[in-house]
């Protein structure tokens, strides 16, 4: 299983020299399991991901959206394979708050006054599916299960399992300080890689209650409680420049050697034990 981080930022893309090391694209993680391509979220990192897929010998992909906040969908209309009728693309996501389906949410986003062209007009062959959190999606030998997360408007966390290997993609969510969520521990138990919403530091967190995010220290607490083999700090705050992120990286590695602070373009290969 190969994992590539195309966008590791939360909330807003932040290009510029202050963010050159850790990167400025918003949430997008590509997972290759044998023949299957699974992509979590369609943030601005989906654009370079699509550019690479468009030049590869792969002709299908499955995008799973955690939710519809703009940092998780803004890259979708810039995903080149979506415009290729030979490319099989299926996009799945939760039922949006106040709407019936994933189609309603993406049609609302990709239409006036927010966008110049509509989905049906430019990508009529793309398939959409609204997910129920209780269902498990099978893609070849890969299974993807989901879990509702505590986030304004709702969000889904995912676990992709291929044979003995698994990756958990858990963003965006707000934790309750001092209380590690037991159902979340069960969901991520024993995973090879926990990718977790680490927008804030524990010190910053009290000022942002209600914004729906968590901290890198909580990533470590959850990863330890659930025996995650690696813990990936993800969805960095746009205000966290390279200097601050490098400090987070030093502290995180000192606290737990299984921590990784993700960067745009980072690739991991999971081999199992
Ligand atoms: Zn987000
Ligand atoms: Zn969000």
pLDDT of residue 203: 97
At 45 the pLDDT is: 98
Express each pLDDT in 20-33 by its tens digit.
Answer: 999 999 999 999 99
Q: What are phi and psi of 137, to 5 degrees?
A: -95, 130
Report which of residues 79 and 273 the model is more confident about: 79
Ligand minimally distant from the alpha carbon of residue 28: 1
Distance CA 165, CA 116 (A): 41
pLDDT band at 175 (very low <50, low <70, confident <90, very high): very high
Distance from the alpha carbon of residue 154 to the mean position of ligand 2, in angstroms: 8
- Given this model, what pLDDT does residue 245 score? 98
**pTM for this predicted structure:** 0.97
Query: 45-70, pLDDT tens digit by residue?
Result: 999 999 999 999 999 999 999 999 99
Give me the mean pLDDT over the 203-228 stretch.
97
Ligand nearest to the CA of 26: 1
Ligand 1 centre distance from Cα of residue 163 (Å): 29
257 Cα to the center of ligand 2, angstroms = 28
* Ligand 2 center to 208 CA (angstroms): 13
Which ligand is the nearest neighbour of the Cα of 152? 2
pLDDT at 134: 84
Task: Name the residue among 182, 155, 183 with its Cα closest to residue 169.
Answer: 155
Tokens encoding 13 = 């893309």
Q: Residues with beta carbon < 5 A to ion ligand 2?
A: 69, 172
- Distance, in Å, from the CA atom of 266 to the CA atom of 244, rounded to the nearest integer, reads 19
pLDDT of residue 247: 98
CB contact at 8 A, 149 and 112: no
> For residue 97, which ligand has an atom nearest its CA?
2
Distance 234 CA to ligand 1 centre (A): 10
**pLDDT range class, residue 176, cuts 50, 70, 90:** very high
* CA 147 / ligand 2 centre spacing (Å): 15
b vs e for 94-120, b when ≥16 Cβ sit within 10 Å of the residue's Cβ?
Answer: bbbeeeeebbbbbeebbeeeeeeeebe
Distance 85 CA to ligand 2 centre (A): 31
Residue 151 CA to ligand 2 center (angstroms) comes to 7
Q: What is the pLDDT of residues 230-271, one digit of tens each?
A: 999 999 999 999 999 999 999 999 999 999 999 999 999 999
CA of 251 to the centre of ligand 2 (A): 26
Give 71 Cα–ligand 1 centroid separation in angstroms.
5
Distances (CA, A) of 136 to 81, 132, 160, 218: 25, 9, 10, 27
Residue of 134 and 140 predicted with greater confidence: 140
What pLDDT was estimated at residue 243? 98
What is the number of the ligand closest to the CA of 199? 1
For the cut 80, the answer to whether the pLDDT of residue 273 exceeds it is: no
Q: What is the pLDDT of residues 79-137, one digit of tens each?
A: 999 999 999 999 999 999 999 999 999 999 999 899 998 888 889 999 999 999 988 99
- What's the chain's average pLDDT? 96
CB half-sphere exposure, 50, CA atoms < 13 A:
22
């Amino acid at each position: 299983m190969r994992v590539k981080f195309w966008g590791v930022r939360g909330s807003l893309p932040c290009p510029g020299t202050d963010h050159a090391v850790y990167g400025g694209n918003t949430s997008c993680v590509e997972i290759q399991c044998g023949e299957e391509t699974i992509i979590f979220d369609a943030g601005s990192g989906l654009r370079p991901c699509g550019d690479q897929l468009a030049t590869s010998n792969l002709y299908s992909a499955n995008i799973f959206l955690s939710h519809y906040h703009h940092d998780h969908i803004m890259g979708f209309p810039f995903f080149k394979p979506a415009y290729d009728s030979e490319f099989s693309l299926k996009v799945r996501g939760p039922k949006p708050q106040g709407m019936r389906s994933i189609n309603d949410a993406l049609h609302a986003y990709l239409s006036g006054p927010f966008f110049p062209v509509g989905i049906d007009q430019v990508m009529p062959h793309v398939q959409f599916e609204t997910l129920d959190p209780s269902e498990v999606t099978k893609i070849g030998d890969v299974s993807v299960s989901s879990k509702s997360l505590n986030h304004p408007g709702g969000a889904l966390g995912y676990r992709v399992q291929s044979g003995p290997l698994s990756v958990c993609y858990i963003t965006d969510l707000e934790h309750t300080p001092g209380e590690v969520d037991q159902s979340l521990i069960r969901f991520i138990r024993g995973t090879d890689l926990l990718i977790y919403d680490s927008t804030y530091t524990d010190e910053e967190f009290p000022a942002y209650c209600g914004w729906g995010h968590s901290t890198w220290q909580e990533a470590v607490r959850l990863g330890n409680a659930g025996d995650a083999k690696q813990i990936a700090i993800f969805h960095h705050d746009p205000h966290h420049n390279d200097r601050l992120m490098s400090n987070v990286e030093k502290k995180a590695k000192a606290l737990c050697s299984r921590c990784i602070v993700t960067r745009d373009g980072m690739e991991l290969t999971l081999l199992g034990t």
